[in-house]
Amino acid sequence: MARPSVRRTGRGALQAPGVLMDTESRDDGATLRHETLRAHLLLASRPMLRHRLLSLLTLSALGATTLPACERSPEPAPTPAPAAVAAPAVAKPRAPKPLTPEQLGHFFLPLPPAKDAKPAPKDTEAQVALGRMLYFEPRLSKNHDVSCNTCHGLTTFGVDNKALSDGHKGQKGSRNSPTVYNAAGHIAQFWDGRADTLEAQAQGPILNPVEMAMPDEKRVVATLASIPEYTTRFREAFPGEKKPVSLGNAARAIAAFERRLTTPSRFNQYLSGRHDALSEQEQRGLQLFAATGCTTCHNGPAVGGTSFQKLGLVEDYPGLTDAGRFDATKNEDDRGKFRVPTLLNVDKTGPYLHDGSVKDLPTMVRLMAKHQLARTLTDAEVDDLVAFLKSLTGELPSPELISEPPLPASTKKTPKPDPS
């Protein structure tokens, strides 16, 4: 499965169709070798300008100027002179200038679909309704006590807020549960991207021995087919099929349901032109998010989910044992790379990282700046970035969609719970 690990192009912090800045405008006397430096933000003050140029230079030295951004092995990270990096001593932050629609579009709007992209599946209401039931169905687990909702609670933003989840017999896997909200837009599913689609993903946990632990497809089908309402609903959801009750169709229905799990936020309103949808501080955070280079990796409508990137790109991440994307591709270049997570609802989806090892957002933001961008942020910058990240918390869908639906009773034929 040789899938390109970066589908999007041109999102790197330096590729923005922004102002063309020439080196003359710098006031620190250093020589810039770049003929032109494209900056994606309009910079008002000179100290800020120097500050940002340095961060852009850092990025460019890291190979972010050419694509695929971040996919190239980084040259040793240059350590910018501490004095130049120190944030300008301004008592009161300037009122933020809104990013232009072009800049916003560049970073956060979907790219036009690739030529070979498959059209999005058409989901019927019958499939969505069945998928909702199956999402909450504990009888899809060996001991009838774990459902998708156990680890991806829909009223808790699609996660369980545990570092590692409890599956069959309370067993823990080695990775943190990512949110199911907005997952449909991701380049691939799982931290290592081993499933291409939600359909492919949904079969995994049902048969995974530490998650729902069903022994095989036969047992899944025997369970569902033993309950008359399910037989009817599968027939309605997959009309004309000879064997509508199957693991594949269960996954297909769950995926149809998951595609409805989106969370529009104030940030979406801002993107559509309502500048008052974000507070001044949130807008400053957004500017900083782009200027610092977070958008090199966290981009697109889900502010992430568009590429695989190395954790510890510019500075090794301590204690990293998970091989990440390598597990799926067996390609050495992919060792330590993870599918960049979405940042939508990130304030609600902690703890963070593939292993759930980081508890709070300010710490996470500092670690990202340090290990992914070789940047040390001031407290004020961290506050602004965190304020922006919190603005990505969206509205959950209505209870009609995300509350547990009534589930049909078992029959004599339904296989019994098996605690072994």
Kindly tell me which residue out of 18, 63, 96, 293 binds ligand HEC, with binding defined by CB under 6 A.
293
Kindly tell me which residue out of 173, 185, 209, 397 binds ligand HEC, with binding defined by CB under 6 A.
173
Ramachandran quadrant class, 122 (left: phi over 0; alpha: psi -120 to 50; beta: rest) = beta
Q: Which is nearer to ligand HEC, 46 or 330 (CB)?
A: 330
Cα 61 off chain centre by = 26
Q: Which is nearer to ligand HEC, 25 or 380 (CB)?
A: 380
Kindly tell me which residue out of 385, 392, 396, 402 binds ligand HEC, with binding defined by CB under 6 A.
385
Site for ligand HEC in 355-374 (CB under 6 A): 364-365, 368-369, 372-373
Q: Is 190 in the site for ligand HEC (CB under 6 A)?
A: yes
In this structure, the strands spanning 37-39 and 308-310 are unpaired
Least separation in angstroms between CB 24 and ligand HEC: 29
Distances (CA, A) of 90 to 286, 291, 380: 19, 18, 11
Q: How far apart are CA 384 and CA 387, in angstroms?
A: 5
Q: How deeply is 10 buried, as exposed, middle or buried, from its count of CB atoms within 10 A (0-12, 13-18, 19+)?
A: middle
Q: How far apart are CA 87 and CA 335, in angstroms?
A: 34
Site for ligand HEC in 90-129 (CB under 6 A): none
Q: How far apart are CA 403 and CA 15, in angstroms?
A: 43
Q: Is 202 in the site for ligand HEC (CB under 6 A)?
A: yes
Least separation in angstroms between CB 392 and ligand HEC: 10
Q: Is 313 in the site for ligand HEC (CB under 6 A)?
A: yes
Q: Which is nearer to ligand HEC, 43 or 286 (CB)?
A: 286
Q: Which two tokens stand for residue 133?
A: 């039931």
Tell me the catalytic residues.
211
Q: How far apart are CA 158 and CA 153, in angstroms?
A: 5
Q: Is 43 in the site for ligand HEC (CB under 6 A)?
A: no
Q: How far apart are CA 270 and CA 272, in angstroms?
A: 5
Count residues near ligand HEC (CB under 6 A).
52
Q: How far apart are CA 338 and CA 332, in angstroms?
A: 13
Q: Is 393 in the site for ligand HEC (CB under 6 A)?
A: no
Q: How far apart are CA 310 and CA 297, in angstroms?
A: 10
Site track for ligand HEC across 140-169, x = CB under 6 A:
------x-x-xxx------------x-x--
Q: Is 303 in the site for ligand HEC (CB under 6 A)?
A: no
Q: Is 214 in the site for ligand HEC (CB under 6 A)?
A: no
Cβ atoms of 277 and 267 within 8 Å: the answer is yes
Q: Is 344 in the site for ligand HEC (CB under 6 A)?
A: no
Q: Is 387 in the site for ligand HEC (CB under 6 A)?
A: no
Cβ atoms of 258 and 184 within 8 Å: the answer is yes
Q: Is 245 in the site for ligand HEC (CB under 6 A)?
A: no
Beta bridge partners of 172: 166
Distances (CA, A) of 58 to 22, 25, 278, 315: 17, 18, 29, 13
Q: Is 297 in the site for ligand HEC (CB under 6 A)?
A: yes
Q: How far apart are CA 131 and CA 222, in angstroms?
A: 18
Q: Is 85 in the site for ligand HEC (CB under 6 A)?
A: no
Which spans of this chain sit near ligand HEC (rule: CB under 6 A)? 70, 146, 148, 150-152, 165, 167, 173, 175, 177-178, 180, 183, 186, 189-192, 198, 201-202, 205-206, 211-212, 254, 292-294, 296-298, 309, 311, 313, 338, 340-341, 343, 346, 349, 352-354, 364-365, 368-369, 372-373, 385
